[in-house]
Amino acid sequence: MNPRAAAHRILGEVRRGALSDRAASRILPAVDPADRGLVLDIAFGCLRLRARLDTWIRACADRPPSRMDRAVRDWLRIGAYQLTELRTPDHAAVGETVGAARSALGRGRAGYVNAVLRALARIRDTDSGAGPNALAGAGPFPDPDVDPVGHLCSWGSHPEWLVRRWLARWALADVRRLVEHQNRPPAVVVRMLTDEDPAPPDGVELEPVPGWPRSFRLKKGLPAIVLSHLRAVIQDPAASAVVDYAGGRLEEPVLDVCAAPGTKALGLAAEYGPPVVALDISHRRLARLGAPARRLELPVSAAVADARRLPVAAAGTVLADVPCTGTGVLRRRADARWRLEQRGLDDLVVLQREIVDACAAAVRPGGLLVYSTCSLEREENEEQVDAFLDRRSDYRREPPPAGARSDCVTSRGDLFMRPWLTGTDGAYAARLRRIA
């Protein structure tokens, strides 16, 4: 399949409600392996930078993108991404895109795509709007000093409600850095499950991630080859930090609730030694844990269970990695930022409360409950824990384990990973001990 046509199909499936990674997994097998990287770059880049690309398109077209035929708009985003982000030569970005579009749209609508993209190439060169200059307000984007919200929503390509939430909590400079971080494609990071230096196979290059022992960035090679040769998992340092934050000797039995796809369960078993039971409501996602557990020979078993109704009465340790908005991992989920709504956040807070209450009931006196999210939002993190402690007088916050990085621990002892400072995903965790 033509790589630009494949990217267009991914965008179309996401528009119709599919998750971007699932859409890509269905479509990529029809693409030449040499072109698959380009397909993912274009498709996921168009999703992450949708608002930025639409601002460019709006400056060149006779109507706003919201009033365009959806298929035409997706082709324009594909061309705009190549012209402004990949800096693909004009003849290739425009010619290849229009050629692929003509097969799907016909000559008339493809001619419209051609006209808009050629206009975009002209204003891009005239205004020098792409690249660092646009961060200073060049091109069709608001001046960041005059209209910081408009700039973060258009050039920064984030929903306005989320930008305003973050600005109410953090300094403008920090929010800018966070937005820029979330717009960069993430690296693949390998977490070693032993203290030995990795000996990667031929064709694989790894480099240490500064500040995160046993974490290595994959510079060259395929993740599957790495995992087939090394005692390791694919895991961002933020997720590894949650495993480390569980800390010390874990009382058995150990449960990882909402566990799929299970890399934290593998980390707990490898790091601390006890058997771990991974529970999740999704049989399909949980099934992915079986192969790595067997490969690594780790004592991890799995069972399908609703975290609000746990079939356990006296666990020693429970890690509750609850469903959340995922605002700390938006760079990994290309389409997620456009699915989020305040109403969805409110619904998740209710679900998290139900899960943490069920997990608390499953922990025996003296046991440990570790509550975690990949969210940056207060309601899902410290406010959720505060409300839980108000309900449960038999629980108390416990200090972080020895060795926890001080720059990632709050004044209350909770783990909080701020992506613009750590260069990782965002994450939160709290240690809650049931009083014996």
β-pair type (315-321, 363-373): parallel
Beta bridge partners of 279: 257, 303
Using the CB atoms, write b or e for 112-132: b if 16+ within 10 Å.
bbbebbeebbeebeeeebbee
Q: How far apart are the first and last CA of the chain?
A: 62
The residue count of the chain comes to: 436
Token couple for 207:
């480099």
Element containing residue 361 per DSSP (H, E): helix 342-362
Say whether 46 is catalytic. Answer: no
Element containing residue 132 per DSSP (H, E): helix 132-135
Catalytic residue among 60, 258, 374, 408: 374
Give the HSE-up count for residue 64: Cα atoms under 13 Å, Cβ half-sphere: 4
Let me know: does 47 contact 77? Beta carbons within 8 Å: no
d(CA 117, CA 75): 10
DSSP state of 434: E
Q: What amino acid positions are annotated as catalytic residues? A: 374
